Chains A and B, each alone.
Chain A
């Protein structure tokens, strides 16, 4: 092969290695130097002061035990639903009752969660608080809305009810 071509290909490979090396090292360094605090995202994303952050942390620590309690209740109710459905080929009255209770409990949990988001948003500067609330609604309830709208969209295609 031509000597100049070998030199150019070698230089290209060396340049690619230098770029890739510095890219990966700096990326890893950036990831490793980030805070391990669970609330660091709030501080960075919504530019909270120390006082605001302290208030948000207090609210967060107050909410966490309630959230854990609700999660335990939900897990227990899901177990009851599964037990009621086990071995049956149709929905019994007992299973229907458990499903309704599960739905109510889930709605209660979501209401509590939304209330927490609202309280936290009020501890932030108004503009940041609105942004936080909108983002949290999108992140937590957005998936439901997406599924429901998808189901509504497929209503015409899959759920054709007779009109005659």
Chain B
């Protein structure tokens, strides 16, 4: 296509190019561009991870299962701790009865 150009057009383009001088690029322009591209990709990646996890949390099946697990764990641990505390209280009550402090 270029070969078919009219010599007058070629001259016109040269004049046009000369009329719009290309400004010189700032130092480390290319490196800065790549860095900004990488930063944008990284934030997009972490955002997508959080979004995926939030979407999982909001799924009813996952939410019910988590609540049920937490309730079960709380009840088991609470019952175990309650039994231990009750046992210690009962032991202390018996010892205080049969061996009051002045006798120990």
Residues of A within 8 A of B (CB): 2-5, 7-8, 11, 15, 18-31, 34-35, 38-42, 44-45, 60, 63-64, 67, 70-71, 74-75, 78, 106, 109-110, 113, 116-117, 136, 139-141, 143-144
Flag whether B103 is at the interface (Cβ < 8 A). Answer: yes
Contact of A34 with B104 at beta-carbon distance under 8 Å, contacts A18-B74, A39-B94, A116-B98 already known: no
| Alpha-carbon separation in the docked complex, A44 to B98 (Å) | 17
Closest Cβ–Cβ distance, residue B29 to chain A (whole Å) = 31
Q: Of A5, A42, A71, which is within 8 A of B102 by CB?
A: A71
Q: Is the CB of B100 within 8 A of A23?
A: no
Closest Cβ–Cβ distance, residue B99 to chain A (whole Å) = 4
Closest Cβ–Cβ distance, residue B75 to chain A (whole Å) = 4
Q: Is the CB of B90 within 8 A of A40?
A: yes
Chain A residues whose C-beta falls within 8 Å of the C-beta of B32 in the assembled complex: none
29 pairs from A and B in contact (CB 8 Å cutoff): A2-B50, A4-B47, A7-B57, A19-B71, A21-B74, A22-B74, A23-B75, A23-B78, A23-B81, A24-B78, A26-B74, A26-B79, A27-B81, A29-B82, A30-B82, A30-B86, A31-B86, A34-B89, A34-B90, A41-B87, A60-B98, A64-B97, A71-B103, A74-B103, A78-B102, A106-B103, A113-B99, A117-B98, A140-B99
| Secondary structure dominating the interface of A | helix
| Alpha-carbon separation in the docked complex, A78 to B100 (Å) | 15
Flag whether B95 is at the interface (Cβ < 8 A). Answer: yes
| Secondary structure dominating the interface of B | helix
